[in-house]
Amino acid sequence: MSAKEWPLWEVFIRGQHGMSHRHVGSLHAVDAEHAIKNARDVYTRRNEGVSIWVVEAAHIAASAPSEKGPMYDPARDKVYRHPTFYDIPDDAGKM
């Protein structure tokens, strides 16, 4: 049992309706080609996708949970970034 474990890959699939690729899960594979083959077997058994992206999990950089506050709180009080902030009279017509 001395062998190296196959590295972990994250899998992204684009469905048929013009949406962007979406993270669906992960799997182990020796290289990118192998990861795509495995992703096809594991994550598209029911026509879930028409395109697969894989990336080695070790290459993904992620924001830290401890920085949640400074990262996302500033967006909270900026309601003027949403269309509903602006009251437009019905008389102005469809907008």
Could you list the residues that contact other proteins (CB under 8 A)?
1, 3-6, 8, 25-28, 30-31, 34, 41-42, 45-46, 62, 64-65
Residue with Cβ nearer other proteins (4 or 94):
4
Minimum gap (Å) between residue 42 Cβ and other proteins: 5
> b/e for 4-34, b at 16 or more Cβ within 10 A?
eeeeebbbbbbbeeeeeeeebebbebeeeee
12, β-bridge pairs: 23, 53
Residue with Cβ nearer other proteins (1 or 88):
1
Minimum gap (Å) between residue 5 Cβ and other proteins: 5
Are the C-beta atoms of residues 14 and 38 closer than 8 Å to each other? Answer: no
Q: Identify the helix (H) or strand (E) that includes residue 52.
A: strand 51-56
Residue with Cβ nearer other proteins (5 or 77):
5
Minimum gap (Å) between residue 83 Cβ and other proteins: 29
